[in-house]
Each structure stands twice: as structure tokens, then as C-alpha cells.
Chain A
Amino acid sequence: MDAELTLTVDGRRRTVTVDTRTTLLDALRERLDVTSPKKGCDHGQCGTCTVLLDGRRHLTCLALAVAHDGAEIVTAAGLGEDGALHPVQQAFLDHDGLQCGYCTPGQVCSAVGALDEAARGCPSHVTPDLGEDVEARTLSDEEIRERMSGNLCRCGAYAGILAAVRESAEAQA
């Protein structure tokens, strides 16, 4: 069965007809030539396919494209404005938060989503007290590691990723 759907990807409205079995990741990469989200494990274990979907970090491998008709998607390629890097992207560069770079678009989208969650006061598994007010600016290293645990880096650039996310967190208003 085929289905027509419309997605807004990095600000562009795109209409595409896909087989209903197509994942959102394959629709983006294979049909719309949006190759910023990467295919790693394709089973929701590595986080490399992470995008922001309707403003939240979201895996695209464990999602059927047809179920997300009308969604607004921002990939790492669409995070920056007017050709400039997003501050989180710049922080990854400044802190060597990558080696081969394959996981980086997912890491960056996940970091942007995680910082937004913290800014909205969402607690995490390691938040000492559920009654406390969480804020992005004061996230501990333990908090950042926990909140980024859905993104694997096989090069092991975690030390740089942690530093990049911490700097981005501290820069939050």
C-alpha cells in the first residue's frame, strides 16, 4: 500500500508517496535526499538517526513515515540560521566532540533536544530530588551523560561531547 504524505523538513515543505512500510529515516534519506540523519543500528539503540520532530528529539528509525504525515522535522543540517552553525554545533567543533563524524548529526540534535527538556524543567534518572527545579544552566556532568545516553559514539569522543554539551548548557539563559 502506498500513501502520500507531506513533511516540513528543515523549513521546506516536501510531499512524497511512500510504501506504508517505509520508516521515517528511509523516507528522509532515500526519497527526499535528506542525508543528515544517519542509519546506524536501525533498531533504536544508537541514536544516530535522531532529529527534532515537532520540536522534540525523536528517532526516525523506529517510526513509520506514514504515521508522521504533517510533521515538522529539523535535522542537524537545518539547525543553523543564515548559513551559520547552531551554537551546539560550534561547541562540538570547539571541543573536538567527534572523530569520524557519523554519529554527530544525531548527537547534535539530541543535545539540542536534551537542553530544551532541561530548560522546560524535565528531571532525569539522576536528578537527586524530583521536587527540585531543573534548569539547563546548572546541569551536572552526571546529568548530561544520563540525558545523552541514547546516543552512542563508537569513536569514543564522549569526553569532547560532554564538554560541548556542558558549554552549551552553561550558555543557556
Chain B
Amino acid sequence: MRELTYLRPDDAAAAVAAVSGDPEARFLAGGTNLVDHLKLGVARPGTLVDVSRLPMDAVEEVGDLPGPLGTGLRIGANVRNSDLAADRRVRERFPVVARALLSGASGQIRNQATTGGNLLQRTRCVYFQDVTTPCNKREPGTGCSARGGHARYNAVLGASEECVTVHPSDLAVALAAVDATVVVLGPDGERRVPVADLHRLPGDRPQDDTTLRHGELITAVELPDSPGARRSGYYKARDRASYAFALVSVAAALDLAEDGTVREARIAWGGVAHKPWRATRAEEELRGRVPDEEAVRAAVRVELEAAETDDQTAYKTTLVEGATVLVLDRLRQGGPR
């Protein structure tokens, strides 16, 4: 491991200045992914700027958000995954967020991992994490070992020649389904990024997971209240019942008219692409229809027309179709969150 300078600035602006002024510097929050990468040699920063004690640790009511109601919650970037999942307001108004968090990692890791850090965790692609193998994301220009390798975790939507991996965060998928906004502080001040624009497809720059510039710090996430967010849920399919990353996952928020037809459906998929995949074509197909099994299967198939699979990943389209049917059926029936 490389020699490491450790800094703990007193405020967010100083932390941003410290990282943006040094290409070898990185932010450190809960450390559950970055400390592992230090050991593995996947990350080799010269300086760590610890933001974990900055006072960005509250969940607050806000009233000035975009969206139909204007109200919502502002979640500080340092709010721990366990605290966010247990928050009564999140459980009632954004159950998909609580469910996604509870499906991720272990009790210990949820106590350590932060809201901001969760969104910025990196892929668990086995080749990305193994420095002895070529990987364009870890070392641009070296090639992709996952293409044609052990491929069953690979993307089926939006992949590129350079990278076929998927984003590992459950929280990010849930946030995509409730149209959250990420608040970002940079050297030139604050800006707001719709969560759909935070993560990116790999294209020819797979080393960039997000659209953030070096030195920009996530300070908060804003969740706008909506009827759909209240009727939202998450399903995660994985190789074992607990403490595993998703093979595929589905986050959905459903706003139904009184006659049972869809006013608005928001559907996001995890485990299928380099970013949380908003299934906007499927959403359009469902608008104005009763979201029964037949309608949902048909809508999902429209979305999946763009999917590219091989014999190792073909199961993912079947799995995501079934999972979407399951989640929307639960939401349509109502019942426990």
C-alpha cells in the first residue's frame, strides 16, 4: 500500500479544496469499500480527506423541492445506511429506499456505510477487484477480462466494448425510482444533480462511474414526496438469501388512479447496467393501463428489446421480468410496505 497522508478538515468547503487541488487525493467516509480497495491495490491515493465527521448527518423535512407536492426529506451524506433504513419517515413515505438499504450488505456494514458513500461505491466485478487481470475501468486501455470471462454478473443493457460491468448499489436503484436529487459541493459552489444523471454508462470512459468531477463532494440527497413514493417497493434477486449483491433488482413506485389504472409508474432496475436503469419505455407502456401480469410482462419486454445477452447472462432478462411482475403486483395490491 502506498504512503498515505491523512487529512480531516473542519468543514466541507475545506475538504473540497483539499481534494480538488490534488489529483492523488480521495474523500474517505465510511471506508467500507475504499479501505478494501487500498488493501487490494485497486485504489492508490496519496492523500485521504476524511469527511466522515462533517456535520452532514441529519434527515430533515424540506418544503422547497421540485415535484408535485414540494415537500420531502433532505438526507445528509453522512447519514448511515442503518439509520436511514430505520427512519420512520423514510419507512412510511419512501419504503423503497428503506427496503433497498436493508437488502444490502450486513448489519455491521450498514452501521458504517454512509448515504453518499453508498452511491459512490465501485463495481464488484471480480476482474476490477483483481489487479492481476486487465480491466479498462481500473486501468484504462488494458482491456476487459469480464467480456468472455466469468460473465454471469455482466450487464445486459447499455454496456460498451470497453466495459460490461454493473453498478452494485441497491440504494441508487431505489433513488432512481423516486426521482431523488443529489446535492453536490464543488470548488465553484453547490449544484443539484438528478440521480438519473449521477451515474453514467461506460462508453469509452469506463473509469468514470459518475458525472461528478474530481473534488466534488456529495453533501446530501433530496427525496421529493409523491403518491408513487408512498406506494413503492424493492425486490432483490441474489445467489444467497442475505449479504450478497444483486443478480438483478427492481425498484418501483406506483401511482394508481381510482379505477386502478396507472397514473404514473416509475421502475428502476439494478444488476443489469453500469448505472441504475430507469425502464422509461416500460413506464410509458403502462401509463393508463391496469398493471396486471400480462400488461407488466408486455411492458418489460418492450424495455428489454435493447438487451444484449449471452449464454451466461440470458437468465437476467427472465429474472428481471419476473421480479418486475412481482413488485408491481405487490404494489398494486397494497398491503404491508
What B residues does A67 contact at CB under 8 A?
Answer: 6, 8, 28, 31, 50, 52
Q: Is the CB of A1 within 8 A of B108?
A: no
B107 within 8 A of A: yes
Q: Is the CB of A62 within 8 A of B112?
A: yes
In the complex where A58-B111, A123-B86 touch, is A3 in contact with B6 (Cβ < 8 A)?
A: yes
Q: Is the CB of A150 within 8 A of B106?
A: yes
What B residues does A128 contact at CB under 8 A?
Answer: 336
Segment with Cβ contacts to A, from B92-100, B142-150, B189-197, B294-302: B92-100
Q: Is the CB of A125 within 8 A of B6?
A: no
A124 within 8 A of B: yes
B214 within 8 A of A: no
Segment with Cβ contacts to B, from A9-17, A39-47, A78-86, A93-101: A39-47
A31 within 8 A of B: no
Q: How does the 8 Å CB contact mask read for A129-149 relative to B, with 1 for contact and 0 for none?
A: 111100000000000011111
In the complex where A67-B28, A130-B98 touch, is A110 in contact with B108 (Cβ < 8 A)?
A: yes
Q: Is the CB of B31 within 8 A of A114?
A: no
Segment with Cβ contacts to A, from B32-40, B55-63, B70-78, B304-312: B32-40
Range for the number of chain B residues in contact with chain A: 35 or more
How far does the alpha carbon of A44 sit from the alpha carbon of B103 in the complex, in Å? 16
In the complex where A59-B112, A62-B32, A146-B242 touch, is A131 in contact with B337 (Cβ < 8 A)?
A: yes
What B residues does A64 contact at CB under 8 A?
Answer: 6, 28, 31, 35, 48
B243 within 8 A of A: yes
- Nearest CB of chain B from residue A41's CB, rounded to whole Å: 10
What A residues does B85 contact at CB under 8 A?
Answer: 122-123
How far does the alpha carbon of A35 sit from the alpha carbon of B268 in the complex, in Å? 45
What A residues does B6 contact at CB under 8 A?
Answer: 1, 3, 20, 64, 66-67
Range for the number of chain A residues in contact with chain B: 35 or more
In the complex where A1-B6, A3-B6 touch, is A21 in contact with B1 (Cβ < 8 A)?
A: yes
- Nearest CB of chain B from residue A170's CB, rounded to whole Å: 19
How far does the alpha carbon of A21 sit from the alpha carbon of B6 in the complex, in Å? 9
How far does the alpha carbon of A129 sit from the alpha carbon of B96 in the complex, in Å? 12
What A residues does B109 contact at CB under 8 A?
Answer: 44, 59, 62, 150
In the complex where A43-B36, A67-B52, A125-B102 touch, is A130 in contact with B108 (Cβ < 8 A)?
A: no
How far does the alpha carbon of A109 sit from the alpha carbon of B7 in the complex, in Å? 30
A89 within 8 A of B: no
**B101 (CB) vs chain A CBs: closest residue:** A125
Query: Known contacts A67-B52, A110-B108, A122-B85; can you find 7 more A-B pairs with CB under 8 A?
Result: A1-B3, A44-B36, A58-B112, A67-B6, A113-B107, A123-B98, A150-B243
| Chain B residues with a Cβ under 8 A of chain A | 1, 3-6, 8, 28, 31-32, 35-36, 38-40, 48, 50, 52, 82, 85-86, 91-92, 95, 98-99, 102-103, 105-109, 111-112, 241-243, 336-337
